[in-house]
Structure formats: structure tokens, C-alpha cells
Amino acid sequence: MSEGMVETPAEGYEAAAGHPLEDVRIIAVEQYGAGPFGSVHLADLGAEVLKIEDPRAAGDVGRYVPPHQHDEDSLFFETFNRNKRSLSLDLTTPAGREVFEDLVRVSDAVYSNLRGDVPDKLGIRYADLAHLNPAIVCCSLSGFGTTGPRRAEPGYDYILQGLTGWMSLTGEPDGPPTKSGLSVVDFSGGLVAALALVVGIHAARRDGIGRDCDVSLFDVALSFLSYQATWYLTAGDAPTRMSYSAHPSLVPFQNFRTADGWIVVACPKEKFWQRLAAVIGRPEYAADPRFVDFDARRRHRDELGAALSDIFEKDTSAGWLERLSAAGIPCGPVNTLAEALADPHTEARGMVVETDHPRFGPVRQVVSPVRVGDIPVPHRRAPRRNEDAGYVLEKLLDYSPGPGTGLSAGPISLS
């Protein structure tokens, strides 16, 4: 810690009564983004997430991601690790393994996001741990899963966006293949892993028997091809990139330039198209054979798109959005990040919260969209590395402090 910094303990550790997952304890052998993104939603729902950080690597690499990073503190790490606890533990040493196995005995799940071949090597699959706790659920999130020819390959979001065809569907037709502006594969993979883990725990509590959950970013990304994959696999129809971020089959459903910006207009039902024709002053379009239904508009998308573009450029975004909204037509502005975070609906939904951090001061961030019940969710900052060693070892495992005990032996790193 830098000179002059005042260390303050994280507050609000005890989940308020009634939170959905307050009786769930998860050992999280996690790092970076995908895994922590999944478990942070579980922590927000009241689960006790014990984050295992490898002292050989100075903890989660997310602590060192720039910008806004100093020593072991980063805003990147804060985003993915609020409401968790940290224990520095080397699972490859006998002492570290002993502490880990003791935690398995008193936990519901072991959650990891490591390369697909690593859970076997570390001995953190169900077959390795069932003798300690027959109901333990072992959820592995990896790039390519624990089986298959790519299992030992590292998998990262951008690589998966390219590999599974996402980039080929994103961007303008005459531009290069383009990734999403967000790490959507990582985030969706984390959410799927969190769902698998909760389902596994439910089944274990019902049956008394745990199991492995094998989730891969590859599988998740491929599954998100959804109906476009069905079109190709069944009808040989390979979707391509569309101009102005247009929907591949529904027209109009795309971005339009206005006199001062961009808006999104969508007509996923015929009634919306009929309303739009009236709002833009072209009521005859509703009955025009070229535009009369979904298929006709799809076949004449270029002609219709050009006509609508000319019309929308004649007024401002605010002017169009007011008229479109009044008519009940799905629409919205193409906001900047700042505009989205300042939207009145963002505040009304309570999507931004604040935690206090000893280095950064007030940290404002968006929170989990998962809402179960109406009990307010307490939020606390992400833990400093190994901050919760005392709690885990003394309270959970009933280790006695002193020489030769778990509190001072090799598995715990106080550096």
C-alpha cells in the first residue's frame, strides 16, 4: 500500500436476511473477467463468494488491468468483485490444498474459470472432491470446455467472437469483420456459468449428490447464433452483415441518421409499420405492394431504406422520437456511454450504486440486473488481496491462530 493511504475495512459483510442466495457458499477459483462477472451476480444476490487468489501470481490479474490502476487496486477489479471475500491460497502446496479441502467440506460449490484442462490438473472436479462433500457442485467455465480438441487452448472473448462467426455478422457490409464494443462472450459466459451453478446446487440439495458443470465460452457464443444458425443449418441461408446495423429479416429495424444524430426505429410487428407510414407522412406506404408485409419489405429493403433515410434526415432526433413514441412505435436514441448512464430510467431503476474504497474514494458502478424480491441489496467494495484470511480461517474453519497453524503456515500469503 502506498504511503499516506489509510486502510479501511470493507463494511457490510453480513447479507441482510431474506436475500435469495444468503445460504449459499461458493469457493471461486477465478480470475479476470468472465468468471468474476458470473459470480458477482451471485454475490449481489447474497451468496458468500470466497475468492481464491494465487499468491504465486500476486492474485487475480484483474487487479493490474489499466487504466485507473495503482499497485493492486484497479477499477476493473472493483467492477467484477464487489461483495466478495478474498483468500490468498496456493492450491499446489500440501498446506494450501488442506485449507482448500476444509473449505470444500463447508461449501456448496467450487466455481472456476481456468483453461479447460486445468481443473483436472488441480483436482477440483467432482470426482476429486466428492469424498469430502458428496453434495459439492464443481462448475468449470473455460474457453473451450473440459473435452474436445481445443480443451487445452486459452480462450478469450475477442478470439471467440471471431471463431464462432460473430465478427462476420457485425459491422458494415463493405467494412472489416468487427467485434462487439463490449466483451459480450465473457459476460454471457459468466451468466450461463452462474445459472449452471445455481441449477447444480438446487439439484444437489434435492438429491444429496453434487456434479460437474462444464460451461465453455465457445459453446455459449455458438449458441447465441440462435435463429441465424437455424436458418443456415436447415435452409442453407447464410446471413451477412447489414448496413446501418439493420436486422437480417425485419424491415425497417435499424439505425437512421437524423438532422443532428442517430436513432433506432423498429417495426417487428405489422401494426408498427402501419403506424410508421402515417407518422412519416406516407400513409400510402402501408398498402404499397412493395412494402405491404414482412416479406415484401425484406425483398425491397434497399428501396425502402433509402426512402426512409431521406425522410428521417429532415428533422432532429428529439423531434422524431417524440412523434414515434407518441404513436407507440418502438424507437430510441443511439446514446453515448455518458448519455446512457445519465438516462432518467437508469436512475429510476437503481442501476448505479456507490461503494467506498480506501484509494479511489467513492466508486460508482452499474450493478446486477437480476432482481429477486424487493429487499434492498447492500453493496461493498471489492476485497483487498487476502483481506478475509482471518474470517475464513477462524470463523469458517475454526483454525486456531498461532505458530504451526493455518493462520501462519504456507498457504496464506500476507504479502
Which cell is 17 given?
436476511
SS3 state of residue 354: strand
Question: Average pLDDT for residues 26-47, to the nearest whole number?
Answer: 97
Question: Average pLDDT for residues 126-130, to the nearest whole number?
Answer: 98
Q: Is the bond preceding residue 67 a cis peptide, omega within 30 degrees? A: yes
Question: Average pLDDT for residues 213-217, to the nearest whole number?
Answer: 98
Residue 18, pLDDT score: 82
Instruction: Tell which wins on pLDDT, 10 or 134.
Output: 134
Under CATH, which number does the domain 25-224+348-396 receive? Answer: 3.40.50.10540
Element (H, E) at 43: helix 34-44
Give 114's contacts (C-beta < 8 A, 6+ positions apart).
29, 31, 122, 140, 142
Question: Average pLDDT for residues 359-372, to the nearest whole number?
Answer: 95
Catalytic-residue membership of 247: yes
* Spatial separation of the C-alpha atoms in residues 89 and 70, rounded to whole Å: 23
Is the pLDDT at 148 greater than 80? The verdict is yes
- What residue spans in the chain does CATH classification 3.30.1540.10 cover? 244-257+262-333
Total Cβ atoms within 10 A of residue 380 = 18
Is the pLDDT at 13 greater than 80? The verdict is no
Q: How confident is the model at residue 17 (pLDDT cuts 50, 70, 90)?
A: low
Q: How confident is the model at residue 407 (pLDDT cuts 50, 70, 90)?
A: very low
Give 373's contacts (C-beta < 8 A, 6+ positions apart).
18, 20
Is the pLDDT at 319 greater than 80? The verdict is yes
Selected catalytic residue, list 70, 202, 247, 345: 247
Residue 410, pLDDT score: 42
Residue 401, pLDDT score: 65
pLDDT digits (tens, 9 = 90+) for 195-214: 999 999 999 999 999 999 99
Q: How confident is the model at residue 402 (pLDDT cuts 50, 70, 90)?
A: low
pLDDT digits (tens, 9 = 90+) for 150-170: 999 999 999 999 999 999 999
Question: Average pLDDT for residues 173-180, to the nearest whole number?
Answer: 95
What is the percent of the chain with per-residue pLDDT over 70, rounded to a whole number?
A: 92
Give 299's contacts (C-beta < 8 A, 6+ positions apart).
none
Please name the amino acid found at residue 92.
T
**Angle 222-223-225 from CA coordinates, rounded to 5°:** 70
Is the pLDDT at 296 greater than 50? The verdict is yes
Question: Average pLDDT for residues 178-197, to the nearest whole number?
Answer: 97
Question: Average pLDDT for residues 400-415, to the nearest whole number?
Answer: 45
Is the pLDDT at 77 greater than 90? The verdict is yes
Please name the amino acid found at residue 173.
P
- What residue spans in the chain does CATH classification 3.40.50.10540 cover? 25-224+348-396
Residue 400, pLDDT score: 78
Q: How confident is the model at residue 4 (pLDDT cuts 50, 70, 90)?
A: very low
pLDDT digits (tens, 9 = 90+) for 229-285: 999 999 999 989 999 999 999 999 999 999 999 999 999 999 999 999 999 999 999
Residue 415, pLDDT score: 34
Under CATH, which number does the domain 244-257+262-333 receive? Answer: 3.30.1540.10
Is the pLDDT at 194 greater than 70? The verdict is yes
Mean pLDDT of the chain: 92
Q: How confident is the model at residue 286 (pLDDT cuts 50, 70, 90)?
A: very high
Q: How confident is the model at residue 376 (pLDDT cuts 50, 70, 90)?
A: confident
